[in-house]
């Protein structure tokens, strides 16, 4: 019936054909195989160009996250990937294969319940603007009730508080007492729970992360600082409207991000968006799954 509908009209396409075409586009069906199926059964697969155009068109109508997001805060994860394409046991002058290097990234909408009810990322971003002089100093509790932030109030407008950047940055320093205490408590807790490490949780998550996948950054890995710097700049461009962006990755990438921040703190900590590195297995494990099928690599290496 689907082939009959396509035969009757070039402008009509069945939902079955559209859905199967998108599924094959996601699975990166080789172009030669795609063209063969489209020629033999046009009701089975639409043309590759139509599917690609439709996928780009549909991105503008993608629903937003189904949970309350945290305004002004973004999260971006990245990891590198390398594969050999068209390598054979016997290399010739016509075909010897090549190595494909890339770094993939994706962004996540941060849930509102991950922050304190009094947290305001926009207020944090105000300290990134040029500060008028002279200033008056005051102390008020903000996002963390037990923590006192140093706040600068402009003398000409004392009713508008501005968070001190030094007070905000101090929350992420390695010698911060709260961070040290949390690391010690977390290590002790994980050590006690090591015997239950392989037990699956019985509770289901209350929300599903809303992910946005970015185009691959070809030719960039994480073995060089200039590569990571370029990747960091691109990820910050993805979050231009955010005040704070959490960057997640494995140990190597976060080590280089920390080094770049220490070399140029004005660029990464005193201009929007502020970069907060996050290291953990969660972002790294996600990319192990993504790399297994290269969901958003285009063009596909198998096309050649």
Phi, psi of 86 (to 5 degrees): 60, 30
Q: Is residue 87 part of a domain?
A: no
Select from 21, 39, 59 the last residue of a domain: 59
Q: What is the mean pLDDT of the chain?
A: 75
Select from 15, 42, 59 the last residue of a domain: 59
| Radius of gyration of the chain from its Cα atoms, rounded to whole angstroms | 25
Q: Is residue 100 part of a domain?
A: no
Q: Is residue 53 part of a domain?
A: yes
Looking at the fold, whether 21 and 120 belong to one and the same domain comes out as no
Looking at the fold, whether 12 and 159 belong to one and the same domain comes out as no
Q: Is residue 75 part of a domain?
A: no
Looking at the fold, whether 251 and 123 belong to one and the same domain comes out as yes
Tens of pLDDT along 111-127? 998 888 888 887 775 65
State the pLDDT at residue 252.
Answer: 85
The pLDDT of residue 62 is above 60: yes
State the pLDDT at residue 163.
Answer: 58
State the pLDDT at residue 73.
Answer: 92
| Res. 129 pLDDT band, cuts 50 70 90 | very low
The average pLDDT across 205-234 equals: 89
Looking at the fold, whether 144 and 265 belong to one and the same domain comes out as yes
State the pLDDT at residue 90.
Answer: 64
The pLDDT of residue 276 is above 70: yes
Query: From CA 200, how far away is CA 290, in angstroms rounded?
Result: 22
Q: Is residue 51 part of a domain?
A: yes
Query: From CA 285, how far away is CA 208, in angstroms rounded?
Result: 17
| Res. 223 pLDDT band, cuts 50 70 90 | confident
Strands 69-85 and 157-163: unpaired
Q: Is residue 78 part of a domain?
A: no
Q: Compare 283 and 50 and report the one with higher pLDDT.
A: 50
The pLDDT of residue 74 is above 60: yes
The pLDDT of residue 23 is above 70: yes
The pLDDT of residue 219 is above 80: yes
Q: Compare 89 and 244 and report the one with higher pLDDT.
A: 244
Looking at the fold, whether 158 and 232 belong to one and the same domain comes out as yes
Task: Supply 250's token pair.
Answer: 């494995």
Q: Say how many domains are in the chain.
A: 2
State the pLDDT at residue 130.
Answer: 40
Looking at the fold, whether 33 and 160 belong to one and the same domain comes out as no
Select from 19, 34, 59 the last residue of a domain: 59
Contacts of 299 (CB under 8 A, 6+ apart): none
Give the residue among 108, 104, 110 at the shortest CA–CA distance from 288: 104
The average pLDDT across 208-213 equals: 88
Looking at the fold, whether 229 and 293 belong to one and the same domain comes out as yes
Looking at the fold, whether 277 and 152 belong to one and the same domain comes out as yes
Q: Compare 98 and 195 and report the one with higher pLDDT.
A: 98
| Res. 142 pLDDT band, cuts 50 70 90 | very low
Q: Is residue 216 part of a domain?
A: yes
Looking at the fold, whether 160 and 271 belong to one and the same domain comes out as yes
The domain in which residue 18 lies consists of 2-59
Looking at the fold, whether 271 and 152 belong to one and the same domain comes out as yes
Looking at the fold, whether 216 and 291 belong to one and the same domain comes out as yes
What percent of the chain has pLDDT above 70? 70
Q: Is residue 215 part of a domain?
A: yes
Tens of pLDDT along 228-242? 999 999 999 999 889
Q: 3-state SS string over the chain?
A: CHHHHHHHCCCCCCHHHHHHHHHHHHCCCCHHHHHHHHHHCCCCCCCHHHHHHHHHHHHCCCCCCCCCEEEEEEEEEEEEEEEEECCCCCCCCCCCCEEEEEEEEEEEEEEHHHCCCCCCHHHHHHHHCCCCCCEEEEEEECCCCCCEEEEEEECCEEEEEEECHHHHHHHHCCCCHHHHHHHHHHHHHHHHHHHHCCCCCCCCCCCCCCEEECCCEECCCCCCHHHHHHHHHHHHHHCCCCCEEEEEECHHHHHHHHHHHHHCHHHHHCCCCEEEEEECHHHHHHHHHHHHHCCCCCCCHHHC
Looking at the fold, whether 123 and 246 belong to one and the same domain comes out as yes
State the pLDDT at residue 143.
Answer: 38
256-265, 272-281, 283-292 — which is least confidently predicted?
283-292
């Amino acid at each position: 019936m689907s082939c009959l509908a396509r035969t009757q009209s070039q402008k009509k396409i069945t939902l079955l054909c559209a859905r199967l075409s998108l599924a094959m586009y996601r699975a990166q069906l080789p172009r030669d195989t795609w063209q063969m199926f489209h020629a033999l059964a046009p009701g089975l697969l639409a043309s590759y160009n139509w599917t690609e155009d439709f996928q780009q068109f549909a991105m503008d109508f993608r629903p937003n996250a189904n949970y309350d997001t945290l305004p002004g805060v973004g999260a971006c994860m990245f990891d590198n990937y390398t594969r050999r394409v068209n390598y054979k046991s016997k290399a010739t002058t016509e075909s010897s294969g090549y190595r494909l290097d890339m770094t993939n990234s994706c962004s996540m909408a941060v849930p509102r319940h991950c922050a304190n009810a009094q947290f305001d990322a926009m207020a944090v971003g105000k300290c990134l603007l040029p500060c008028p002089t002279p200033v008056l100093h005051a102390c008020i509790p903000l996002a963390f009730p037990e923590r006192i932030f140093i706040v600068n109030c402009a003398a000409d407008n004392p009713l508008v508080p501005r968070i001190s950047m030094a007070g905000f940055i101090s929350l992420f320093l390695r010698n911060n007492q709260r961070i040290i205490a949390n690391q010690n408590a977390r290590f002790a807790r994980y050590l006690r729970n090591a015997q239950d490490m392989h037990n699956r949780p019985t509770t289901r998550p209350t929300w599903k992360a809303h992910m946005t996948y970015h185009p691959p950054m070809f030719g960039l890995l994480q073995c060089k600082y200039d590569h990571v710097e370029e990747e960091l700049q691109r990820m910050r461009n993805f979050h231009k409207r955010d005040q704070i962006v959490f960057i997640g990755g494995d140990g190597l990438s976060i080590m280089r991000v920390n080094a770049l921040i220490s070399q140029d703190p004005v660029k990464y900590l005193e201009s929007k968006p502020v970069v907060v590195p996050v290291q953990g297995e969660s972002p790294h494990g996600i990319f192990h799954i993504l790399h297994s099928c290269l969901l958003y690599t285009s063009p596909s290496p198998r096309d050649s």
